Amino acid sequence: MFAMNGPYFRRSARLLHQPLTVPLVSPTVRFKNKVGQVKKLKRLSNETPALPSSVALSPEQLDQILKNKNAALLRLANKAPEGFGESWRKSLATEFGKPYFKNLMSFVDGERKQHTVYPPPEHVFTWTQMCEIQDVKVVVLGQDPYHGPNQAHGLCFSVQHPVPPPPSLVNMYKELASDIEGFMHPGHGDLTGWAKQGVLLLNAVLTVRAHQPNSHKDKGWETFTDAVVHWLSTNLEGLVFMLWGAYAQKKGAAIDRKRHHVLHTVHPSPLSAHRGYFGSKHFSKTNDILKTSGKEPIDWKAL
């Protein structure tokens, strides 16, 4: 047993009463240590062999990739809505799987359950049934389908028999009569005869609630028809785009003018036709361009 007043006890007591000290590392030393660690990591990374940036694929692998891509496009094309022309369906397949298009189709389906919607489902995509997408020669851009019964059938400005031509179409016929030799008012408003020759009559919005113009605006149709115009502008050459009015001209702003011909004037509406539509001679100018490009002109009288 140690004596309470012995030397061991006195030494231990002194140690207990001394403050505990921990060696401090200065910021400069810590910084140097960190730099050293970084340099070491860089050195190690430089010593590690780099992986090749790309790996050469065999012809068999490339062929399989192409098959997989085509199969994926086919699956998307099969999601096309009712009445879609085959060549158009394949060319625009990537649009059908996009969220906006799915939402758009759901919206239109919901509208049809609660309201009368024009045109009927089988006529919404009439413009894809008239000719192959590769055979389009002329594009006329409209805005919104007619919202009365038996009018809209999937071609802008066109109406079904026996509905009388609306005022804008009447003005188009007046311009044709002064521009194309031998043209006479056909007595109806069905423009299918033009569409079958490669005239794409495309509205920006493809459906509408009965008697409520622009009721399906900003629901997704504009995005889809922009994609149509983009495909035509990118994949075909020498098309003639007729852009009548500010709306059509804005929609056609992205058309490649180096690849295609763009004619623009005011809308044929009675409100504006006298400010430049009459006398524009777009129909004869279009045929002159087509003939210069080695293409068959449009028979505007074939209605």
Helix then strand then coil, in percent of the chain rounded to 5, is: 45, 10, 45
Q: Cα(193)–Cα(300) distance, rounded to whole angstroms?
A: 8
Q: Which two tokens stand for residue 46?
A: 């430089």
The identity of residue 122, as a single letter, is E
HSE of 273 in the Cβ direction (CA atoms, 13 Å)?
15
Cβ 166 vs Cβ 159: under 8 Å:
yes
Give, in degrees to the nearest 5, the angle at Cα 156 between 152 and 157: 85
Beta strands in 25-82 (DSSP E): none
As annotated, the active-site residues are: 144
HSE of 200 in the Cβ direction (CA atoms, 13 Å)?
26
Give, in degrees to the nearest 5, the angle at Cα 209 between 204 and 215: 55
Q: Which two tokens stand for residue 204?
A: 């920006």
Phi, psi of 209 (to 5 degrees): -75, 140
Cβ 129 vs Cβ 85: under 8 Å:
yes
Strand partners, 241: 139, 262
